[in-house]
Amino acid sequence: MILITFILLNFFNGPQQGEPFFKSADSFFAKYVENGRVDYSSLVNNSQDLDQIYEQVQAMDLSGKSPEFEKAFYINAYNLLVIKQVVDLYPIKSPLENGKFFNGIKHTVAGEKLTLDGIEKGTLLKKYPDARIHFAVVCAAVGCPPIHNRAFTPENVEQLLTERTTYAMNDTYFTRVSTNKAELSQIFNWYNKDFVSKGSDLIGFVNLYRDEKISEKAKISYYEYDWNLNSK
């Protein structure tokens, strides 16, 4: 009887506490994201779903949560807050239309005041230096890796980070490869140190996730980033 009571207490007071957020996020992305595009106009006309998930981002308690829980939460929070900012500023054609988009607008995130840069650079990448995160957080631009239409969860975050990175590395729009030439996203230029850490070079990182490997002798260049809004 004591063992049963202990199991039940852990079930209701343990990792399951954050599950409503991940379920809500999963439903939200499935409803408003399709093929890497976001249905901002529908959210502008009816913001109830966005308002509800925004409240959950604010109220989340991360105390005692696992690294997988935190990583999944912050990835989802970043993508949700990007969408909220676009909706709040709508109609806009690019996130760059507002000079404070990434480092000037603060939100309460799990009880802490953070900008988008604060979530991505000051929290996620600082605490979890994982280059795959660059292909999971999406900045509302066409040039970004396509936003996923499902939520990251503590259970799937590692698998999904690898899947999203693999998708980007094999996407002919995002990673443009020809004979002895590789045109890469500016993400690889802006965050170069994240991809060449632990003794790996840039091509080495890309080839970890590519089906057709890039020649080590390939000339690397960076194509112009498309900052147009990733609207559906």
What is d(CA 130, CA 143) in angstroms, rounded to the nearest whole number?
Answer: 20
Per the structure, how many domains does the chain have? 1
DSSP 194: H
The alpha carbon torsion through 160, 166, 172, 174 (nearest 10 deg) reads 70
Q: What was the pLDDT predicted at 197?
A: 76
Residue 48: Cβ-neighbour burial (10 angstroms; 0-12, 13-18, 19+): exposed
* Residue 73 belongs to a domain: yes
What is d(CA 23, CA 151) in angstroms, rounded to the nearest whole number?
Answer: 8
Q: What was the pLDDT predicted at 200?
A: 78
In this prediction, the residues of the chain whose per-residue pLDDT falls under 50 are 1-17
CA angle 100, 184, 76 (to 5 degrees): 45
* Residue 226 belongs to a domain: no
* Residue 7 belongs to a domain: no
Q: What was the pLDDT predicted at 18?
A: 58
Range of the domain at 100: 18-171
* Residue 146 belongs to a domain: yes
DSSP 110: T
Query: For 98-142, how does the pLDDT look when each residue is reduced to its tens digit (9 = 90+)?
Result: 999 999 999 999 999 999 999 999 999 999 999 999 999 999 999
